[in-house]
């Protein structure tokens, strides 16, 4: 990625959120560029929102969702996206640097157990967020099966956004027929299991340069 400026939410802004916004707030997206649970103010924002009864939304790689956080989240009204890059350790860990597929699956098991204990399946919503690429599209159907196994009833598939980077070679626009076949396979599995699968439009071949 190109140069960018980023910083954590400053204490004086956080105080304004707490004093002026939160009393009337009904929904909060705790997000930014990167992993939201790494922010120093994440737990304070989460505490504010949960005490207030606000609907909490964020997308996370789950690496920092420990038992204490998950126990609270699975008792509350939340919409949480879990970033997943494959259904096997080899694919998952090759795409997401520093990740651990086994630990991710352990978090899924913890989420399912806590949602069952807290009887919160009707109001705590967890979904998979899957960025479709050459390296993982063949595992999309198994990602749907993994979701169903752990009570995750929605899989959101995002197209990889080309941006003039080396990773652009992973775009499914270079293999539209195979990409569409894998998506249709996953769609059939999702229909069978009752999982909602949200996918990009069918892929078409790249237009030649200059057209």
In this predicted structure, what is the pLDDT of residue 211?
41
Measured CA to CA, the distance from residue 91 to residue 63 in angstroms comes to 17
Q: What is the pLDDT of residues 129-181, one digit of tens each?
A: 999 999 999 999 999 999 999 999 999 999 998 888 888 999 999 999 999 99
Contacts of 91 (CB under 8 A, 6+ apart): 85, 135, 136, 139
Tell me the percentage of the chain whose pLDDT exceeds 70: 96
Looking at per-residue confidence, does 189 or 164 come out higher?
189
How far lies 93's CA from each of 75, 128, 147, 155, in Å?
30, 16, 18, 19
**Where residue 210 falls among pLDDT bands split at 50, 70, 90?**
very low
Tell me the percentage of the chain whose pLDDT exceeds 90: 78
Q: What is the pLDDT of residues 86-140, one digit of tens each?
A: 999 999 999 998 999 999 999 999 999 999 999 999 889 999 999 999 999 999 9
Q: Taking the model in full, what pTM does it have? A: 0.91
Look at residue 209 and tell me whether its pLDDT is greater than 90: no
Mean pLDDT for 44-66 is 93
Q: Tell me phi and psi for residue 113, to 5 degrees.
A: -65, -45
How far lies 82's CA from each of 21, 65, 184, in Å?
27, 10, 22
């Amino acid at each position: 990625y190109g140069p960018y400026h980023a910083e954590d939410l400053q204490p004086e802004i956080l105080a304004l959120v707490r004093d002026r916004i939160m009393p009337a707030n009904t929904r909060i997206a705790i997000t930014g560029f990167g992993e939201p649970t790494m922010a120093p103010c994440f737990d304070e924002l989460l505490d504010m929102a949960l005490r207030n009864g606000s609907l909490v939304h964020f997308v996370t790689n789950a690496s920092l969702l420990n038992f204490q956080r998950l126990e609270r989240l699975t008792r509350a009204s939340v919409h949480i996206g879990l970033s997943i890059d494959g259904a096997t350790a080899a694919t998952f860990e090759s795409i997401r640097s520093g990740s651990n597929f086994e630990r991710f699956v352990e978090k899924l098991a913890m989420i399912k157990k806590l949602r069952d204990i807290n009887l919160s399946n009707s109001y705590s919503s967890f979904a998979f967020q899957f960025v479709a690429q050459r390296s993982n599209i063949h595992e999309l159907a198994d990602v749907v099966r993994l979701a169903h196994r752990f009570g995750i009833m929605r899989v959101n598939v995002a197209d990889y956004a080309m941006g003039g980077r080396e990773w652009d070679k992973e775009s499914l626009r270079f293999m539209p027929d195979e990409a569409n076949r894998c998506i249709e396979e996953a769609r059939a599995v999702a229909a069978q299991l009752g999982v909602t699968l949200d996918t990009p439009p069918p892929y078409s071949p790249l237009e030649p340069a200059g057209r």
